[in-house]
Amino acid sequence: MYRKRGAGSSSNLPELLCTSSPCQINDWNDHFLSMRMVQHFNILEMVFSRGARRSFDIFCKKLSIPAHRGHGYSVLACRGSSIPELRDGKFSCTSSYPNEGCDLVKLVRRYAVDVSASEQMSLIKQLRERTSAPIKDLITEAAQKELRKRGVVLANKKSCRTAAEGLLALAQNGCKAAIIELNCETDFVARNDIFQYLALTLAKLALLVESSQQFSGAFPLGPDCLEDFQMKLEHPKLSGERTVQTAITDVAAMMGENVKLRRGFVMSTSSHGIMSTYLHTSPQPGLGRIAGILSLEVEDPNASLGALQRVGSDLAMHVVAAKPLFLTKELVSSDAIENEREILKSQAEATGKPQIAVEKMVEGRMRKYFEEVVLMEQKFVLNDSTNVKTLLSTLANEVGSVVKIGSFLRMEVGEGLQR
């Protein structure tokens, strides 16, 4: 592989790119101008200019080696050959290097082929479209397979790095919804269309998972539940059938970051209810950084669901904004209540007020605590003159049936992870 020297260089000839340190050969004669050679794996490699073509052709003819003709430059590699002998057309190949001999030319290869620059760029473009690899990695058409192998190795090396950015992807089908969190290292990758496509595809796949047991609320889906599933990808740069884990590894290789499926949940409701969702900071439908999912259920199967849809969407937004932890006061654990009560009691006693006043202060602050963490007790964010419990009572009168929240879920990208 060769590249042209810069404009400030003493020669316009190419220089050979090699891991070894090159040594400079200065003006030989009209045929062999300023060149570079390297000794790499015991092979002497030289770059010949156009002016050396005649001598090069004669040399190949004497050794019964086909000469490579065409535009550009040719490379001759001869083990142990003496530079002056090659220059003068003598081919006895007496070695100027210790412990090396040479019988014949070991390698004849063209470093520039008869392909136009536009054709070469077209091939590079095709490979980049299929692999998204940097241009420096695009060597030949056959590189695609090798790049995937290298990508797996690189992805495995990066798997221990913190990935606290990413997106939530949500898919819904009637009374069932699924949400997954796909993480990466930077928000730059989270904005990439390949990453977003993979996240949406994983959410749709999670929607197909059936639980073997009955559950209420959100059913958790760990990465191990999905990693062996087969998925069909139809993105221009990520296509074909592969397992979930393989697809994630391929995207990690393309992005150059640690990419991982962190978690997922599936929620469902009865046929007499609706599933409402809300995504905050959404780059496109089905994606976001914060999500609220909520199910509303009615007892009367003949009740109108139109009003439920409207209120359900507002409540899903409320879940994102208000961050409730529990649905009702009865679901708050006794340990959580006792710990909070002890903290509030210590704060009240520090004021030095009488015991009766302290107890009243504790009870008042406990009500405030429930209003902060219990969904049914929270002030409705779109109308703080009422709470969620009162909102559902008003809705029940409108639809002519008792309305209740079956379950809810709030998720945020990277929550609980150390950044």
pLDDT of 256 over the 80 cut: yes
| One domain for residues 37 and 144 | no
Residues 62-99 have pLDDT tens digits of 444 444 443 333 334 343 444 444 444 444 433 333 33
Is the residue at 354 inside a domain? no
Is the residue at 214 inside a domain? yes
pLDDT at position 161 is 87
| One domain for residues 68 and 96 | yes
Residues 112-161 have pLDDT tens digits of 444 566 776 776 677 677 766 666 555 554 555 665 666 666 667 777 88
pTM above threshold 0.85: no
pLDDT at position 375 is 97
| One domain for residues 135 and 186 | no
CATH number of the CATH domain containing 185: 3.30.479.20
| One domain for residues 149 and 85 | no
| One domain for residues 223 and 328 | yes
| One domain for residues 64 and 91 | yes
The larger pLDDT score, comparing residue 418 to residue 379, is at 379
Is the residue at 283 inside a domain? yes
Name residue 219's beta-bridge partners: 266
> Residue 67: exposed, middle, or buried by beta-carbon count in 10 A (0-12, 13-18, 19+)?
middle
Domain range enclosing 56: 2-110
| One domain for residues 29 and 139 | no
